[in-house]
A and B are shown apart, each in its own frame.
Chain A
Amino acid sequence: MIEQQLEQLRAEAFADLAGVSDESALEAVRIKYLGRSGGLTAVSESMKSVSKEEKPRIGKLLNEVRNALTTALDERKAALLSDADRKAFAGVDVTLPGVAARLGTLHPITQLQDRAVQIFRRMGFALADGPDMETEFHCFDALNTPADHPARNEQDTFYFNDGRLLRTQTSTVQIRTMEKNTPPIRIIAPGAAYRRDEIDATHLAQFTQMEGLAVDEGLSVADLKGTLEFFFRELFGKDAKFRFRPHFFPFTEPSYEVDIKSTAVGSADRWLEIAGCGMVDPAVFDSINLRRKDRAFDPEKVTGFAFGFGLDRLAMIMSGVSDIRAFTDNDQRFLSQF
């Protein structure tokens, strides 16, 4: 009797299952047969009346039917979910554009400055700085600039009423550093410098420079050459071609300008001036010693090299920017390109 009932339930349940097409219908089938008042639940309750001899056999059959049904329900459910998943993704147009993520940018001058800082740090240089508002001593006197030098004129340099000025070069940091420290010195100093230049595509009254100074026993032009060659090769690539052209600066001797072959930045073949450098002039050491009231920078004992270059100019060359004003216009359409 119960056996027949079970077989019949099994047949009915599988027939119902075959007709199921969604999750709620599937749940209805589960409740109909396995729920608290479901068919199989009723049968298992009637097991109490089954004789002791028959119990194992009927019990086994009951389990078999229940397991088969449970498995079938689970499988059907998994299949329904998979179907739904497939449908959910079938219509997705993966060629739709991505949703823009908002990423900011660092200013091109900052990026270049930081690259330069990282390269010099690999060569054992530490950072130094000094004020933008400087004294004439730090900007000119100590840098061996003659008293009647045109750069000191009010036509070329910004002054304040107290006699101070806006530094015309970051070389002032050389002096600041040597006043407070003793050799060995290896510093770089990025910063602003100012000149009363007429503003045009290649001139601003304000620009960004990077200064460097090394003072030690036994430093020579060979160290200067090795340092700057390494720096510019790291910056422009190892095949970049340079030349050191003798030049004149009041605060270095010998002095050089560094030119790079413009092919390094992919433009027509010519030399571009990118830096000035040289061996620290003994007159600079003398004025520091006088200021310090000691002989820490005795030109007979220590030598040094110094260099400086304009970051704006380098960035213009490297990024193909033709108007220097773009660097301070803060146009987001420009800034977001870097």
Chain B
Amino acid sequence: MKVSLNWLRELVELPSSVEALVDLLTLAGVEVEGIETRGVSIAEVVVAEIRESVQHPNADRLSVCQVDDGSGALRQIVCGAKNFKVGDKVPAALPGAVLPGDFRIKVGKLRGVESQGMLCSAEELGLPKGEDGLLILSPEAVAGTPLSALYSGDTILDLEITPNRPDLLSVNGIAREIGALTARPVRLFEPKDAAVVPAQSTVAVEAAGLCPFYSARVIRGVRVGPSPEWLRTKLESVGLRSINNIVDITNLVMLEQGQPLHAFDLAKVQGGVRVRLAGAGETLAALDGKTYALSPEHLVIADEARGLAIAGIMGGAESAVTPETTDILLESAAFESAGIRRTSRQLGLSSDSSYRFERGVDRAGVLSASQRACELVVELAGGTTEALQVGGEAVQGATPVVSLRLKRVEDLLGVSVASSRVEQILTGFGLHPSEGGWSIPTFRADLTREVDLIEEIARVIGMEAIPACTQARFSPASAVDRSYDRAMALRRTCAGLGLHEARSLTLVPEKPLGMAFTQVAESDQQRVKNPMIDDQVVMRPNLLHGLLKAVKDNGRAGVKSVRLFEVGRVFSKRMPEEFLHWAMVLCGPVTERSWRTAQGADADLFTLKGLVSAALGGAVTFEPQENPALALALTIKVSGKAVGHAGQLWPADGRALDSLAPIVFAEVDLGAWEKAAKEGVSKRFQEIPRFPAVTRDMALVAPLELAHARVEDVLKEAKEPLLAGVELFDVFTDPSGAKLPVDRKSLAYSLTYRTSDRTLTTDEVNAAHARLKERLVSQLGAVFRE
């Protein structure tokens, strides 16, 4: 909300500087979002009359003027403008003046001719931009008068009012707040006389739930015309346009009191005023020139024939006050905030009035605002007022009383506040001590509990007055701590393995990339009811969408090797609905090209398997998976339990992501991993072997389809006590058939033999090796190359 400091100064003494006022308000919870300075406050700018103007001898575009600055002697000023004539009154900045933009005026020479100041345009003085050239002043202006007398300065603050403080949406309210914060007296804008409330309701309020109180007052014989200067200045200072004296008065009183008002042209009102719900299909042409389609949940002000206004939001065009209007009906009412908010939102229409009603208007102020406006109308537009017509209840019931314990103030704020100080603060805000506590003024409906009063005290004493306490408690680690630490350790391992951490959006398109790869059913997806854009419709079922999208985006950006991982939540309809996953994706060369080495091969499934094993630790195994959606597919297992998937995309899917290099990924459910890995509180140490190991190599020739895993299994199943390790060190095939039949492959293994209590003899090793080879022959039909 915008507020003018000149306006405020009529009510309360302000701190000495704008900065001090801004700090005062900000630190009391009224945030200042903008500060705007208007008018001319520069001392050395005066009214000057142009007495003579001649062409500059050395410059076509300049003229040399002799001006009367009120000092008695003529002053010579060189000027570049063209829009003036001799005899015009214009602003002259004298030497010493500092114009906006820190522009300092001095005596100087312009193309060889002395200039003793500068004639100014509106813009150069910080005034709203007018016509091009000099600001031509009124012929009545007296030479030598400081310009600040003609264009008085003002500062406008743009305040952010929190929703709990509707009382601050008025000049009176802000002044009251400043008075309370500075302990200075406040004189509010108030009507001279109290309104006389009729004993009987005469206005038909048909929806009392939406309009608890309505008042209307007829004023006859008004002269509609322009507003006086002071009224226009006030409205324009906060960005409102002056329309005519009647409309301007309603706006002025709204800004002063916070109570929105509306004036109807009485000649357009047929019969009595009704406050009713709109009929189905009813439309209303509003003051903004648009016609609104209303429905029976919208409240309208109507006469006997038709709707006149959208209640509390905007008046109708038809019943508006015009220059021809002679009699007016002045409305001042209380509308319920929820109804106004709903209507405003549904119609997409908001106004200064709806803004205030949405936040809550003090019902007790309805009649005094009406009275204040009537007095101003009679004063500025003439006319005579008739008796008030009302509907509903003007008072909200008994004044609430809230109790306050000093001990509680100290307990909650951590500092003790003297009772005299508490009293000073609360009375400053308009509260009064009463039986059992503090009686709350009607305009502070937000104060209902002890804690609300304590907050008022906290706002005034400020955080500076409260000590900083640094005591803590011991806290045991929670299950969330342990899971956080495990995920962080995994992230760090991944970074150590050369992967970059990604963080993708949780909302993904309806058909996310890679759904088939991890075999997620569409029916398991959690779909948002009111998505904003097509790219963000379902809660991601896995992390692949984000990572595959990143492969595409990075590829397009020219990143050669994409190496990403992500740890994040994924969502499903299966319980527990939210799962923590880890995923990684690789695309492009494993090693970068350097002066030492050529660029390495592209990452493939085996690069991926190595990284997955390194990231998740020793107990990981991989099993071939039937998955036609992928070129190569594996199930990732930990301690025999499936925890995730790994795979390589079909090249066609890669091409769809603009990638020619293989794309490989892995995704693991960290919850399942955690359960399967069953980590203890600490790792157990294993004895380091003290006796040397012996290795024996073997190269077996087998059918192409024999899996390495099968060989490993056969060796494992042998339970050979001396066998300590099996390493596959070569895989050889020969498509030409020259060195090996085309349907065969050669697998070369290095077997390590060791026992923990002695050095093995050659005979022992040879015997063990022979036993294993024999087993491979009998079980797999292997043939050995010697």
Contact = CB atoms under 8 A, between A and B. Distances in A.
B553 interface: yes
B502 A335 contact: yes
Contact of B553 (A125, A127, A222, A329): A329
Contacts of A199: 533
Interface stretch (B66-74, B91-99, B299-307, B408-416): B408-416
Contacts of A123: 472
A97 interface: yes
B738 interface: no
A244 B162 CA distance: 16
Interface in A178-207: 184, 186-187, 189, 192, 194, 196, 199, 204-206
A256 B415 CA distance: 17
A136 interface: no
B470 A247 contact: no
Contact of A245 (B29, B503, B578): B29
A307 to B, nearest CB: 14
B531 interface: yes
Interface in A102-123: 102-107, 109-110, 114, 117, 123
Contacts of B454: 253-254
A331 interface: yes
A100 B498 CA distance: 11
A221 to B, nearest CB: 5
A221 B413 contact: yes
A248 B163 contact: yes
Interface stretch (B8-16, B55-63, B459-467): B459-467
A126 interface: yes
A161 B527 CA distance: 8
Given A124-B475, A331-B554, A206 B507 contact: yes
Contacts of B474: 124
A330 B473 contact: no
Nearest to B470: A226
Contacts of A254: 451, 454-455, 458-459
Given A100-B592, A192-B569, A229-B468, A335 B526 contact: no
Given A104-B498, A222-B414, A335-B501, A244 B530 contact: no
A246 B528 contact: no
Interface string A145-168: 000101001110011110000100
B158 to A, nearest CB: 16
Contacts of A221: 412-414, 458, 463, 466
A282 B451 contact: yes
B412 A303 contact: yes
Interface string B508-542: 00000000000000000011111111001001000
Nearest to B503: A107
Contacts of A330: 502-504, 546-547, 549-550, 553-554, 564
A146 B711 CA distance: 68
Nearest to B559: A332
B500 interface: yes
A248 B162 contact: yes
Contacts of B475: 124-126, 186
B81 to A, nearest CB: 36
B395 to A, nearest CB: 24
Interface stretch (B136-144, B189-197, B384-392, B487-495): B487-495
Interface in A253-281: 253-256, 279, 281
Contacts of A186: 472-473, 475
B468 A222 contact: yes
Contacts of A184: 473
Contacts of A332: 500, 550, 554, 557, 559, 562-564
Contacts of B506: 132, 192, 194, 206
A247 B571 CA distance: 35
Given A132-B578, A192-B506, A246-B28, A97 B469 contact: no
Interface stretch (B428-436, B477-485, B694-702, B717-725): B477-485
Contact of B412 (A133, A192, A279): A279
Contact of B592 (A102, A155, A329, A333): A102
Nearest to A157: B530
B451 A253 contact: yes
Q: In the complex, which range does the number of interface residues on chain A fall in?
A: 35 or more
Contacts of B470: 226-227, 230
B559 A126 contact: no
Interface in B319-347: 337-338, 341-342, 345
A100 B591 CA distance: 9
Interface string B410-443: 0111110000000000000000000000000000
Given A206-B505, A222-B467, A335-B500, A245 B412 contact: no
Contacts of B571: 132-133
B491 A106 contact: yes
A115 B472 CA distance: 19
Contacts of A107: 501-503
A217 B553 CA distance: 53
Contacts of B532: 196, 205
A75 interface: no
A227 to B, nearest CB: 8
Contacts of B451: 253-254, 279, 281-282
Contacts of A166: 528
Contacts of A128: 478, 480
A135 to B, nearest CB: 12
Nearest to B591: A102
Contact of A159 (B459, B530, B564): B530
Most buried by A among B26, B468, B539: B468
Contact of A127 (B469, B478, B529): B478
28 contacts: A99-B594, A104-B497, A104-B501, A107-B501, A124-B472, A124-B473, A125-B475, A127-B480, A166-B528, A186-B472, A196-B532, A206-B505, A206-B507, A221-B412, A221-B463, A222-B466, A243-B463, A247-B29, A248-B29, A253-B452, A254-B458, A255-B455, A256-B463, A282-B449, A330-B503, A330-B549, A330-B554, A332-B500
Given A126-B480, A133-B578, A225-B414, 5 more contacts: A124-B472, A126-B481, A158-B531, A226-B471, A227-B470
- In order of increasing CB-CB distance, the 8 nearest A-B pairs are A222-B414, A246-B29, A220-B414, A102-B498, A248-B162, A244-B463, A104-B495, A330-B550
Interface of A: 96-97, 99-100, 102-107, 109-110, 114, 117, 123-129, 131-133, 148, 150, 153-155, 158-161, 166, 184, 186-187, 189, 192, 194, 196, 199, 204-206, 216, 218, 220-223, 225-227, 229-230, 243-248, 253-256, 279, 281-282, 303, 327-333, 335-336
